[in-house]
Amino acid sequence: MDWNAFHASVLEAYHIEDEKTVKTFDLGSIREITATELLYDAPDGTVGRIDLAECEANFEAANGPLVNQYGEKLRCVGGRCFGRFRQDRSFYEFFTAPHTRFSVTYRYGRFERFLRKIGIDWSFQKRFSEFYAIQMKLNEFHLTAIDLN
């Protein structure tokens, strides 16, 4: 599946009519994930909170319960995408009302752009590790994303 088809299916699954309603923050602003909430640094200097039980309830209200191949109910709180080639579209999105998205920020200086042209992108691994760490933390509390069922 190409990126556009995946992105369209994500938007449909999330029931997002207008991308402009999604609250967007940098992935690096996530402070902590616990069993009940996600804490992040808001641009106004406050600490934002996302109730993960609310995210799970919002998902189930829209899509019904998510069940894995073994018949176990999964606690789905959001969705995610990490694109190797369309890196500007890497994100975690949580089912708040309105949805909250944490995007990976890509900033390349002149030297990094040169290295990318010759096929070297050492910062990709760092960004992927940060992205994957969020997934592992959610999994630690038996929470999942819609695309991991």
pLDDT for the residue numbered 148: 58
pLDDT for the residue numbered 18: 61
pLDDT for the residue numbered 54: 94
pLDDT for the residue numbered 44: 92
Q: DSSP letters along 32-69, please?
A: EE-SSEEEEE-TTSSEEEEEHHHHHHHHHHHH--EE-T
pLDDT for the residue numbered 86: 46
Q: What is the pLDDT along the chain (149 residues), one digit of tens a residue?
A: 555 666 666 666 555 546 678 888 988 899 999 999 999 999 999 999 999 999 999 888 887 888 878 888 888 898 887 765 444 567 888 989 888 988 877 667 788 778 778 877 766 777 778 888 998 999 999 898 876 54
User: What are the domain boundaries of the chain?
Assistant: 22-148
This prediction has a pTM of: 0.75
pLDDT for the residue numbered 27: 86
